[in-house]
Amino acid sequence: MFTIPTIDMGRTGQNIMKLRVQNGYTVKDLQNVFGFATPQAIYKWQHGTAMPTIDNLVVLAALFQVHMDEILVINTGLQIKLGA
């Protein structure tokens, strides 16, 4: 059996918000770092309705001085049988 991991978007969003606040960044600060015209993407990340792209996760990890796996919350869920 193989367990397929999934990203818990809600808890990952909470993590992003917690790390942002702990590091003293505002949503506007992140908006400026990423060059977004509006803050909507950051709010979507924080609410768990969207995920940052891999390259944006790399930037978040650098800003927050953590590894990417400290931002993402992984669930182990569905188990499948591999092979014959």
In tens, the pLDDT along 47-75 reads: 999 999 999 999 999 999 999 999 999 99
Work out the percent of the chain whose per-residue pLDDT is above 90. Answer: 82
State the pTM of this model: 0.87
H, E, C per residue of 32-63: HHHCCCCCHHHHHHHHCCCCCCHHHHHHHHHH
pLDDT at 39: 97
